[in-house]
Chain A
Amino acid sequence: MSAWRAVWTIALKDWRIEGRARDVLMATLFFAGMVVMILAFAFGPESSKLRAAAPGILWVAIAFASILAASRAYGSEAEDGALETLLLYPVPHEAIYLGKLLGNLGSMLLLTLILVPTTLLLYGVTLRGQWLEFGLTVTLGVIGFSIVATFQSALTVGLRARESLLPLLIFPIVVPVVLAAVKATVGIVTLDPSIDVWGWLRLLLAFDVIYLVTCTLAFPYAVES
């Protein structure tokens, strides 16, 4: 089996599991929804304040959801030695990482497809143009979270207290994604000409490329047995 076929097969397997159990989507969706709600209560009822805080709140919700999704990504593999079996297949381990990443991305993109419009609606934010930029911001931001979260999740498979450990390993690394995605979103929503939306998008793209390469190369060391 070629490496790219293996990537596709693993991603399809994860999507099929997700399509049947809806495990990740349900957990992350309700969790992200709760974050969006509790932050609305925390920032008070003034609608102008809430509108200003909306981009930040949206990305906080996505960041937390991506950690939850990543810890679930290897949940099915941790049972009955499934990961060991997966690693025994005669395909490069890099392909397994890329497959798991694609599988995770599927759930995360589906989540944002529901979460983003809902959040903007609830916080009274209206988009006036720059649809391409907004789509790119959300996609590149989610890909950035997913790359790091899927990798760190593989490192900690089967550890005690993994859920509390993952944020510590993921957040310090994805800070550039949070900064760039929030800034770009603010720029798009407010149409503030002083915010260089494309500049932040380039930073997101650079982050995604650098970490995709680093994590793919490091993955075989992370899981070898």
Chain B
Amino acid sequence: MTQKQSISSASWITPALGYSSLAVLLVAFYFTFTAAPDVLQGYLTRILPVHVGASWLAYLAFGVTAVFGLTYLISRRAHWDRLSASSAEIGIVFIVLSLFSGALWGRPTWGAYWVWGDARLTTTALMMMVYIGMLTVRGMLNDSGRRARVSAVIAVVASVGVPINYMSVYWWNTLHQTPTLNLATQRSALQNPGIAIGFALALIGFTILYAYLLRLRGQLARAQADLETREMDMELRGTLTGATS
């Protein structure tokens, strides 16, 4: 009975999250694309809500990955491991979007697609590598207990590294190079009201999108885990009947 109830509640919450994120993002993009061109960056600022929104989602997803990983290590419930891994997958998709849109924005503003001395950019790329490593390791471990433990440990150790990586690249840059020309910090693109509204709405829309994708991926992961146990049960039953006949 409780099982049925949880499924019926999930069946309306998940699509509701999906549609509301779509609606909020459409309104956000409407404001973004109807805003007046920026004084310094012209049409370039239109990328801001997507770029910052995707980056925020990716950082949120990796933060959740580490917190759920830690929760798994304490509680040992497979549920947290599945959500942690699901969150990491979502994070990788959006971090690629963030780096790609950032490169497109960086070329006309910084003069280069990639700037090694920028702490945010470099830290983001390194974070992506760690979580790709984590998912690769997961793919190689068949024992679900060890898989959960190892990926949780990688996520927790990686989260310790994020501020250290950021600070070290920041010092590396500021102490030895002239600071990178960054138009966005000299005059915030958010002074443009259309972009500011679009940005605020995009943050909300991307957060709802994250909740939607996490629920969806979590449900899929649970179904996969159920399938695995059922297959093992059937195999076991098969060998047992085979032995008795």
Contacts and interface: CB of A to CB of B under 8 A. Distances in A.
A218 B157 contact: yes
B75 interface: no
A214 B161 CA distance: 10
Interface residues of B, number: 31
Interface stretch (A54-62, A73-81, A175-183): A175-183
Given A159-B137, A169-B130, A195-B176, A221 B168 contact: no
A73 to B, nearest CB: 17
Interface in A118-171: 151, 155-156, 159-161, 165, 168-169, 171
B149 interface: yes
Interface string B128-152: 0110110011001100000001101
Interface range for A: 20 to 34
A215 interface: yes
Contacts, number: 84
B162 to A, nearest CB: 10
Tell me whether chain B's interface is mostly helix, strand or loop, or mixed: helix
A195 B174 CA distance: 11
A203 B160 CA distance: 15
A160 B169 CA distance: 33
B43 interface: no
B75 to A, nearest CB: 13
A221 B172 CA distance: 34
B136 A168 contact: yes
A176 B129 contact: no
B176 A218 contact: no
B130 A175 contact: no
B137 A171 contact: no
Interface string B163-201: 011011101100110000000000000000000000000
A210 interface: yes
B103 interface: no
B168 A176 contact: yes
B86 to A, nearest CB: 20
B97 interface: no
A210 B137 contact: no
A176 B165 contact: yes
Nearest to B152: A221
Given A172-B126, A176-B167, A179-B169, 18 more contacts: A155-B150, A155-B154, A160-B140, A165-B133, A168-B129, A168-B132, A172-B127, A173-B157, A173-B161, A173-B165, A175-B169, A179-B172, A183-B176, A207-B164, A214-B156, A221-B149, A221-B152, A222-B149
Interface of B: 73, 122, 126-127, 129-130, 132-133, 136-137, 140-141, 149-150, 152-154, 156-158, 160-161, 164-165, 167-169, 171-172, 175-176
3 nearest A-B residue pairs (beta carbon): A176-B168, A168-B133, A172-B126
Interface of A: 151, 155-156, 159-161, 165, 168-169, 171-173, 175-176, 179-180, 183, 194-196, 199, 203, 206-207, 210-211, 214-215, 218, 221-222, 224
